[in-house]
Structure 1
Amino acid sequence: MHRRIKKRKTNASGNAEDVDTGASGSMTLLTENNFVGSGSSPTEINNSASTGNCYEVFLSFRGSDTRHGFTDHLYHGLLNAGIDAFRDDDELCHGEDIRPVLMEAITSSKILIPIFSVNYGTSSWCLDELVQIMERKNNNGQIVLPIFYKVKPAEVRYQTGRFGEAFHERESRLRESSSFDPMTLEKWKSALDEVGTLKGYEALGSEAELVKLVVQKALNELKKKFELVISENFVGIDSHVNKVIEFMDDKSHATLFVGIHGMGGIGKTTLAKTIYNKLSSQFEHRSFIADIRESWKHNGIHYLQNQLIDDILKLKSQVHNEDEGTKFISTKFNGKKVFVLLDDVDNVVQLKCLAGNRDWFSLGSRIIITTRNQRILEEVRVDYTYDHKEMDNDQSLILFSKHAFRMNSPPREFKDLTQEVVSIAGGLPLSVEVFGSLLCGKEPTQWRDTINKLKIIPNMEVQERLRISYNALDDEQKQIFLDIACFFIGIDKRITSYMWEACDFFPGEGIEALRFMSLIKVVNDHELIMHDQLRDLGREIVRKENQRQPQYRSRLWDSKEALKVLKDNKGTEKIEAINLSEGSAKGFNEVFQPKKDGDIYTEKQFKNLTNLRYFHMINAQLSGDFKDLMKGLKWLQWRKGPASFEVNNFDVKELVVLELQGSEINEKWEGWRFFKMAEKLKYLDLSYCRSLENTDFLSAFEKLEVLNLRGCERLKQIDASIEDMEGLLRLELGSSRSLHRVVGTEHPVPRFYLRELPVEIGKLKALRQLDLSNTSSLFALPDSIGSLENLEILEISCGGIEELPNGIGSLRKLRELRAYGCHNLQRIMVESMCNLSFLRHLDFVSCHELQSLPDLPSGLTYLGVTCQSCKLPSLSHLRHLKELRLWECIFLQCIEELPSTQLKSSKCSQLTDIEESESQQFLNTPFMLDLLEVFGCESIEMLDVSQFIHLRTLIVRFCRNLLEV
């Protein structure tokens, strides 16, 4: 509710008229102790006005000229914009002296607006106000915005024209008065002269437009009032602000919805507030609805709707329920250009009730939404989504130093400690601020204790903020979150999903929910990533299941704790997952570590682990009768297992994931008779089981979707029964890329015994990825490979393949063909490669025996080539190509049909007129090339890249005959 002083001017009889029209006429000059009001002589005031109200705009005007016209419109325009304005409402009570209140109103108002009309100079009250206004401008720095209503600034300054005539007529009457004071007249004229020089507004056209201009100017000047409180210590926000504002500065004047999402504590609200502060003064109608999640929970949606209505329309308590509020907002706001910040939205219903449709608002409106849940933004189809990222190390260091040391960098003696704390915070602004405040003023010895504690027990203030997102999950999603935090950071979500599906955790929906809530990220297509602070949150939740007795927790991720529980025979039915391996579950390098004498675990240690669903051990052995002990196990990671198998009654029928990396097992291993009963098995990893020679044991696993035989160097054949794996999606053979010989290193190329693939491989209709990299003994692909109708990725890099069969032209869904370093590859027999419309990545780099390339498909975005031809096929149609690498094409003379430019040598200058004409037509072809690398192309003499408007990286090396770029 805007507080207003209400007053009116009366004569002794109580008639409302200007006392200056009387014969005597008051000439009293306004002072702090003797001050009167706007327009005419006031005598009364309401009680609320005498209590020290503060105003932002003071209007001085001649009531008889503009009270019911322009001034009234301006006054209400200011109020509607949320500005506290003082004016003469002509509603004063009788009998009170308002002079101190008028003095307070002028003194407290940041902006003073005298409205000069024809008869303004005939009122002593107006002129006295003007004198005070100019004194406040000169002494206190208050802003004066004069408005010249149907008079010219020069007429006011020099008292000429109609304004001057009225002023001088009044002056003549005053001079006849016995109480005439020449000094007062000089102060009036001096004030009129000074105000006439100020930049103001003239009412020459539309009064409505003038009101808008003045209100907007007032908003700009009062911008600080509307700015939201933001920590002065916040660092590194400008780049984020600029990215969002760049989008919001839309020239189409459309109504835009902008969403900002990210994990808790990342700084979403601070970013949104900063944007709001920068842009709010451009909008007459604006609203910031803070902490919607909590307000909705405690007060209901209609409370938030009323807040929005009050902010925009200045109407209080208009609605009493959700439906009434939605209808009111959707019908009453459509003529308003609004700027609304909806902070911390956690339910799409909240958005639909507060800003459900663009049609609710006038064109040019801006709605900013902050949320932890990206799904909400997608559901309401915001125009722009901004994923707010963590701070980098430098920004974190500055922010931390501001809180810990009240400076931008740490003192020298705290430098190393500061880096350690910043590393723990992981770029999360909330953590950085909390840790900085926590350590402020403490001695280095205290820092060390606090740091050690933070590494073990996360800070409670940070945890409570982050836990809000966790609490919003359903039970299955919480289980997935805790599994990732304890075991699966850095793991392929496709593998973990097999277990979660078997546990009815609904991983498809769950992973998406976690991703939308910014609790995890999925990178490199499939890898699960979680912020360290969220990881610590998950582990702390599990730890608090029983802080002193780990055997009563659901998950044991600390190998020392887990090992102690097992060795002490303290396992309980509470335990669902155990990791006995030091470090992460990913542990790829564990396979290559020296063999140690492993632990032996007996049935006694597993007797009470009746709910175990995930078990990870390395270099260990099981022994004893395991009857009824592993019935619920879904995932077994048993790395570097022994050649012997000393378990009886090993019931693992529910297994869906089995990893035996680096184990000493072979095809006759005793364990297969138990594992073959796992008919639900979807994922089998036998990589680096170097004793395997064949795969006849695989016939039992008909539901297998992923089979990894990488690094099985003695493997001589793939059993024909592979054709029964109708659901197989991924098949991996060969060796680790890291073991392949690289220029400048001496890693040996492993020897492989596998000479051919079975023709039955063509029966794998569901296969999407076939990895044959580093299969040095495999010289040919079967023709049946063309029957793999769903194959998307074919990897043969660094293998022994000598030619690509024609059948590859039938792989219509192929997206990537990687043949890097195939030193034996001579021919590509594919006649219809140009028909592979899905192909995006084609790599023949370091294929030194390759003679030529076939015609290429138009959808390529990456092309890498090494070949012996002097001319490549036409590239003019490759308009999506972003990376082109030409390596050691020693006979290549030119590429005369490359879009937008040409590579050529002097030998290419002998083009026919037709060829030259065809070449030129591609010079202006749109071309997206971002990177061009030319390496060891000895015949090229000139390189022209002048037309590559998108080129960011140009690499030219060992082109010894190159003369000009």
Structure 2
Amino acid sequence: MLESASFEMTKSSVLVRRLMNRFYKQLTTPRSIYPSSLGRTLQASGASVSLRRLWQVPSNRKKKFINDQADAWREALMKVGAIKGWEVKKYKGHGELIKLVLEEVMKKLKTKHRLVTEHFVGMDDQVEEISKLLDINTGGVRLVKIYGMGGSGKTTLAKVVFNLFSSCFGKCCCFLEDVRVKSSRINGLVDLQKKLLSEIGHRAGTRSIDEIDYGAKSIGEALCNKKVFIVFDDVDNNEQVEKLVGKTTFYSGSRIFITTRNKDVLRINRPNYQILDYEMKMMSIDHALELLGRHAFDRDSPPDDYKDLVRQIVYATGRLPLALELIGSFLYHKPQDSWKETLDKLRRAPHEDIFGKLKISYDALTSEQQQIFLDIACFFIGEDKMNAIYMWKDCEFFPNTGLDVLISMSLIKIVENNKFWMHDQLRDFGREIVRQENPTNPNEQSRIWNWEEFLEATRTNKSHLQMNQKVQALSVDISSRSSRDVIIQSKEIERFEHLRFLKLARLTIVANATNHLPRLRWISLSHTARIYKWTNMYLKNVVILEFSKLGYIDDSRLENIIKMATKLKVLSLESCHHIIKMPDFTGCLNLERLALIQCYQLRKIDGSIGKLKYLIDLKIDHCNFLEHLPEEIGDLVSLQYFFVKCAHMKKLPDSIWKLKSLREMHFSNCVDTPDSENFWELPSAIELLQSLEVLQVESHNLIGQLPSGIGSLPFLRTLNLSSSCVSVVPMTISMLPRLQRVELMGCDGLEALPTLPTSLTHLRVFASLLIVPDLSNLTNLVELELSDSPGARDRHCTGELWWLGRLSKLTKLSIKFQKVHPPTEMASIPLLNELAFLGLDLQTFPPLPLSLQKLCLDSFNPTVSLSPNLRNLSCLQLFGSPMQEIQLDGLQLPHLQELLVLNCVLLERLKLSSMRKLKDVKVEICLKLVEIQFSVVFESLEALSITGCKSFKRLVCEIANEVNSCEGRLIFLSRVLDKLRTLTLRRCPEILDIRVVGTSESWEHFGLEDCHYVPSLGGLSNLKNLKSLSIQKCSRLRVIEGVDELEFLDHLALSMCESLERSIDVSTTKLPNDCHLYIHNCKKLRGFQEGFDGSVQSKVNLNNSLSFSFRFS
């Protein structure tokens, strides 16, 4: 008892002292307690009330400590009584006191706290990440630089972070806003220096500052002995930071936070502090919807009748926070007509305020960089960067420097496969820059990228006969038009004499091309485009030539083209089926990239290819009649990238091993069975390829042992021998210091793995392994897929998996072995996100890490206890369960979002009672499944797919008292599935009727296939925002009710529904005119007996011209 009381006394004393520290300099308003009386009470009572529990201690024991503890209490509470504050009784009423308190609070906070928008949405994760980077509880100095495009939320994030941590630095914190704008003014940097010194408590030192260098020196002297927190908002060059903090040696614990559009600001770490970069993340769809909803409706989600418009506005703005705030505020409680009008404007150009914000970055570019930016915005998003670089180099736009600047200023990104990426708002901004060159006349704009403007520029008046020096780039694709036989005269293009980029698709160009277009650098022709008599076309300055699906290009025409295009750098031929032999290449010796793709008749490549001394990249893909490559391939001294994938290619030429510049080799000729007459092995000469980084050979004809010389390739990063008959991987592979990825999938001849290098991060093996390999040394692995292939032999792989627990960096793991026991330790893999256990003996299940988000299991048995640490699991896939009923209720998976149940042949009933967070449910090939049960309203279910479940006939919802007693009758209750967006039913022959009950605003896609006994589909008029409806192979379907009410339908496909006959009159339908109709083999559907592929409007026009009645569902 005494020890307990002592502990309580000590704890209470410490607590009061802590409270005292928290109250220091805080504003205190005692209510019904007065400091003077508190002090007297304490002196008189000896804190008797607070120490009441102590008196319960026997008197012979409490004397040992009571005096010390009582003194500590008394001292602490006496200090509480001395705190300065307001006594309520001294004022006339609460109103007067509240006013005084508010005034004092504002006075105390006004110079530090930053005002943040009340609609703060979607930045919690970024605030947490920035907080980790700042890590204010550690010593040292850190500078965090956050970069991103204008309007992405950098300043808002900076304000939130400043408000969060400024109190930890007392007076020594400062937020300098709009540094870029303010520093550009007269004496702007000096004013910023004064503000910085004033904010951190050095007001006296600001009086003598009259020039920048002296100010920088003063700041350095002030900061070297203070722990400070400084935010520089919207910095755009190094000088601004240099003059504001100079070369200061910051005091330990200081934090500097910078927001900028320019990634290159302070890119190099300084000797006295560390610089950490952070890129702004794009706002998620859900958060964008919420942000727009708050500004437009003062609520997190819009009214039901606005949901589709809100979603379209979000897509049109590219989820840019600034755009969402401006548009939402502009549309605040406005009618739908205003929303639709605004949406139309946004699809053409950004909002004017957003435009002004983005133009700041554009104006900072040089004229050449602006040209590059506009080219990307208008033409090259999603395109390979290299072709554009060739054009820009020849135009002297200095693309390498220009692209670096655009990337650093967050105007573009280079993403996977070297492709350009640009934010939608920046794309629209760039195109609006071009439009503003002359808003009413495309002839006076520098770039044309849509068909309508092309027609306006060439055919609306007599100007199409005059020469034009404005248009630099032209891209026309008429794929969206119903007619593909559009004919233009060559003179309609040739008059654009400053044209440097020309891309045409699905056009026919007639008349003789002359020696116009001398500045043309890039020609791209595709699909049905035909050019007659073009032998005089001026190709002398062309550096990129792309032909795709041009049936008229044959060997002789190609030879003439190559002879004329002497500056050619890039030649790409795709689906040019009349090319049988590649011609003599001596006419284009500057060629650097050659691509031959799906030229199915190509049988020979001329040996002159060896003369292309500058060729860097050679790609031959799916030219399946090509059997051999010329030995002259070995003379391509500059070749770095070799990609050949041709089904009948026998083997690689022997000379290829002389290519000392080769960095990547990809070769594949996989066919169904190996060809014993063309077996080959990798030669020992492979060790000569000392620059090789990627070796990928996928060929059934590759056999035998890999040469030991493979271990002498110092730069090899990737080795992929999948689908080969390789039988031995040499021990020397462990000597490859940079090897990170090994793939040996489908290698049935491989029975063992050697010791692999510890540098490996990715390993995928599917082979006939005799023993489970010990991979405990591969501690850098982040992805491991290990699978036995028992098909080639009768016995199973043996061994243990104990070593898995040592691979602490794994994020993705897939193990498939028959009858092998799982490891006993898995919880020690803290980063594991995905786990698949297939074929293992799962009598017991090891504890799993808390990080796990995706789990795949076969032969699932709910009686086997899963780890209780699966609360973060978001995806569960169950294969081949022997159970007749699966209940997931007891698994405690509160965050499960995706569920796949596959090939559970005995399963009859699936219960999803407690799965409230599910978003996506797929059930496939469960032949005996009769029903799916749930007893809750699905809060999040967006997609439901049931495929190949031949016995399925019931969807049971207990909470709605809606048990489908009539088997085969599916009723979808919108109030239970209120978030459902996609429903797919395939090959479920027991379904006899489908009906939607209740209005749904979320449902967008409905697919029904191979459900032969469904006679009618009812209630579709309840699906107010349905965008896609596809019904196929439903032979007895006669009626689709409510199709005519689907106002937002984009796509309607009806195929092989032989009984469908009831229809609607298009003169009264609410289907949009641009809704695409695909009708095939619906023989009783009036007006469509022959099928149809086109828009509603085009069908109406056709009906009017043919004068017959149109009715279809």
Confirm or deny a common fold (TM above 0.5): yes
Q: What SS does the corresponding residue of 2:184 show, helix, strand or coil?
A: helix
CA contact (8 A) 2:757 2:778 kept: no
When residues 193 and 670 of structure 1 are mapped into structure 2, their CA distance, relative to the original with a 3 A threshold, is closer
Q: What SS does the corresponding residue of 1:707 show, helix, strand or coil?
A: strand
CA contact (8 A) 1:264 1:372 kept: yes
In 1: Cα distance, 2:769 partner to 2:215 partner: 75
The aligned residue for residue 196 of structure 1 is 78
- Asked if 1:893 is matched to 2:771, the reply is yes
Unaligned runs of 5+ in 2: 1-20, 47-73, 84-103, 672-677, 789-794, 847-1113
The aligned residue for residue 459 of structure 1 is 351
In the TM superposition, what whole-angstrom CA distance separates every residue of 1:655-697 from its partner, at most 9, and x where no partner exists?
1111012222455333643552322211111122121111124
The aligned residue for residue 485 of structure 2 is 597
In 1: Cα distance, 2:815 partner to 2:799 partner: 23
The aligned residue for residue 437 of structure 2 is 545
In 2: Cα distance, 1:852 partner to 1:493 partner: 40
In 2: Cα distance, 1:368 partner to 1:497 partner: 35
Answer 1 or 2: which has greater helix percent. 1
Q: What SS does the corresponding residue of 1:796 show, helix, strand or coil?
A: strand
Among candidates 567, 570, 574, match of residue 470 of structure 2: 574
- Asked if 1:390 is matched to 2:282, the reply is yes
Q: Partner letter of residue 818 of structure 1?
A: Q
In 2: Cα distance, 1:783 partner to 1:927 partner: 43
Q: Partner letter of residue 729 of structure 2?
A: L
CA contact (8 A) 2:509 2:530 kept: no
In the TM superposition, what is the alpha-carbon distance from 1:641 to its structure 2 partner? 5.9
In 2: Cα distance, 1:637 partner to 1:552 partner: 23
Among candidates 629, 632, 648, match of residue 757 of structure 1: 629
The aligned residue for residue 1093 of structure 2 is none
CA contact (8 A) 1:698 1:721 kept: yes
Q: Partner letter of residue 256 of structure 2?
A: I
In the TM superposition, what is the alpha-carbon distance from 1:926 to its structure 2 partner? 6.6
When residues 324 and 908 of structure 1 are mapped into structure 2, their CA distance, relative to the original with a 3 A threshold, is same
In 1: Cα distance, 2:235 partner to 2:486 partner: 52
CA contact (8 A) 2:799 2:820 kept: no
The aligned residue for residue 948 of structure 2 is none
Among candidates 439, 451, 475, match of residue 367 of structure 2: 475
In the TM superposition, what whole-angstrom CA distance separates every residue of 1:476-532 from its partner, at most 9, and x where no partner exists?
111001011111110111111011111111110111111111111110141101111
In 2: Cα distance, 1:813 partner to 1:930 partner: 30
Q: What SS does the corresponding residue of 1:660 show, helix, strand or coil?
A: strand
Alignment of 1:83-122 (within 5 A): 111=27
The aligned residue for residue 826 of structure 1 is 703
When residues 350 and 567 of structure 1 are mapped into structure 2, their CA distance, relative to the original with a 3 A threshold, is same
Among candidates 705, 708, 727, match of residue 851 of structure 1: 727
Q: What SS does the corresponding residue of 2:145 show, helix, strand or coil?
A: strand
- Asked if 1:289 is matched to 2:176, the reply is yes
In 2: Cα distance, 1:512 partner to 1:389 partner: 20
Q: What SS does the corresponding residue of 2:594 show, helix, strand or coil?
A: strand
Q: What SS does the corresponding residue of 1:343 show, helix, strand or coil?
A: strand
In 1: Cα distance, 2:417 partner to 2:385 partner: 9
In 2: Cα distance, 1:938 partner to 1:794 partner: 35
The aligned residue for residue 538 of structure 2 is 651
CA contact (8 A) 1:869 1:892 kept: no
In the TM superposition, what is the alpha-carbon distance from 1:239 to its structure 2 partner? 0.7
In 2: Cα distance, 1:347 partner to 1:282 partner: 29
CA contact (8 A) 1:333 1:362 kept: yes
When residues 897 and 726 of structure 1 are mapped into structure 2, their CA distance, relative to the original with a 3 A threshold, is same
The aligned residue for residue 633 of structure 1 is 520
The aligned residue for residue 301 of structure 1 is 189
In the TM superposition, what is the alpha-carbon distance from 1:869 to its structure 2 partner? 4.6
In the TM superposition, what whole-angstrom CA distance separates every residue of 1:17-64 from its partner, at most 9, and x where no partner exists?
xxxxxxxxxxxxxxxxxxxxxxxxxxxxxxxxxxxxxxxxxxxxxxxx
In 1: Cα distance, 2:81 partner to 2:759 partner: 56
- The TM-score, its normalising length taken from structure 1, stands at 0.71
- Asked if 1:365 is matched to 2:365, the reply is no
The aligned residue for residue 803 of structure 1 is 680
When residues 609 and 219 of structure 1 are mapped into structure 2, their CA distance, relative to the original with a 3 A threshold, is same
- The TM-score, its normalising length taken from structure 2, stands at 0.62
- Asked if 1:724 is matched to 2:611, the reply is yes
In 1: Cα distance, 2:620 partner to 2:629 partner: 10
In 2: Cα distance, 1:395 partner to 1:731 partner: 45
Q: Partner letter of residue 662 of structure 2?
A: L
Alignment of 1:940-959 (within 5 A): 946=826, 950-957=831-838
In 1: Cα distance, 2:843 partner to 2:533 partner: 68
In 2: Cα distance, 1:241 partner to 1:949 partner: 23
In the TM superposition, what is the alpha-carbon distance from 1:882 to its structure 2 partner? 2.8
In 2: Cα distance, 1:405 partner to 1:594 partner: 41
CA contact (8 A) 2:563 2:587 kept: yes
When residues 278 and 199 of structure 1 are mapped into structure 2, their CA distance, relative to the original with a 3 A threshold, is farther
In 2: Cα distance, 1:430 partner to 1:666 partner: 50
Q: Partner letter of residue 545 of structure 2?
A: L
Q: Partner letter of residue 365 of structure 1?
A: S
In the TM superposition, what is the alpha-carbon distance from 1:475 to its structure 2 partner? 0.7
When residues 476 and 945 of structure 1 are mapped into structure 2, their CA distance, relative to the original with a 3 A threshold, is farther
The aligned residue for residue 138 of structure 1 is 31
In 1: Cα distance, 2:350 partner to 2:557 partner: 46
Alignment of 1:386-425 (within 5 A): 386-425=278-317
When residues 345 and 639 of structure 1 are mapped into structure 2, their CA distance, relative to the original with a 3 A threshold, is same
In the TM superposition, what is the alpha-carbon distance from 1:248 to its structure 2 partner? 1.1
The aligned residue for residue 932 of structure 1 is 813
In the TM superposition, what is the alpha-carbon distance from 1:196 to its structure 2 partner? 1.4
The aligned residue for residue 234 of structure 1 is 120
Alignment of 1:312-323 (within 5 A): 312=200, 313-315=202-204, 316-323=206-213
CA contact (8 A) 1:630 1:651 kept: yes
- Asked if 1:878 is matched to 2:774, the reply is no
Alignment of 1:831-846 (within 5 A): 831-846=708-723
Q: Partner letter of residue 809 of structure 1?
A: E
In 2: Cα distance, 1:884 partner to 1:276 partner: 44
In the TM superposition, what is the alpha-carbon distance from 1:459 to its structure 2 partner? 1.0
The aligned residue for residue 135 of structure 2 is 249
The aligned residue for residue 446 of structure 2 is 554
- Asked if 1:329 is matched to 2:219, the reply is yes
Q: What SS does the corresponding residue of 1:651 show, helix, strand or coil?
A: coil
In 2: Cα distance, 1:662 partner to 1:439 partner: 47
In the TM superposition, what is the alpha-carbon distance from 1:595 to its structure 2 partner? 11
Larger radius of gyration: 1
In the TM superposition, what whole-angstrom CA distance separates every residue of 1:439-480 from its partner, at most 9, and x where no partner exists?
111112221222122212321111111111111111111100
In the TM superposition, what is the alpha-carbon distance from 1:791 to its structure 2 partner? 1.8
In 2: Cα distance, 1:417 partner to 1:704 partner: 50
The aligned residue for residue 702 of structure 1 is 589
Q: Partner letter of residue 179 of structure 2?
A: I
The aligned residue for residue 586 of structure 1 is none
The aligned residue for residue 14 of structure 1 is none
In the TM superposition, what is the alpha-carbon distance from 1:293 to its structure 2 partner? 0.9
Residues 940-949 or 759-768, more deviating: 940-949
The aligned residue for residue 342 of structure 1 is 232
Q: What SS does the corresponding residue of 2:343 show, helix, strand or coil?
A: helix
Q: Partner letter of residue 713 of structure 1?
A: Y
In 2: Cα distance, 1:861 partner to 1:199 partner: 68
CA-atom RMSD in angstroms: 3.7
CA contact (8 A) 2:577 2:599 kept: yes
Answer 1 or 2: which has greater strand percent. 2
CA contact (8 A) 2:515 2:538 kept: yes
CA contact (8 A) 1:343 1:369 kept: yes
Larger RCO (alpha carbons 8 Å, 6+ apart): 1
Corresponding pairs, count: 744
- Asked if 1:771 is matched to 2:643, the reply is yes
In the TM superposition, what is the alpha-carbon distance from 1:305 to its structure 2 partner? 1.1
When residues 222 and 838 of structure 1 are mapped into structure 2, their CA distance, relative to the original with a 3 A threshold, is farther
In 2: Cα distance, 1:955 partner to 1:803 partner: 35
Give percent identity, aligned residues only. Answer: 31
When residues 643 and 517 of structure 1 are mapped into structure 2, their CA distance, relative to the original with a 3 A threshold, is closer
Among candidates 694, 719, 732, match of residue 816 of structure 1: 694
Q: Partner letter of residue 933 of structure 1?
A: S
In 1: Cα distance, 2:135 partner to 2:116 partner: 23
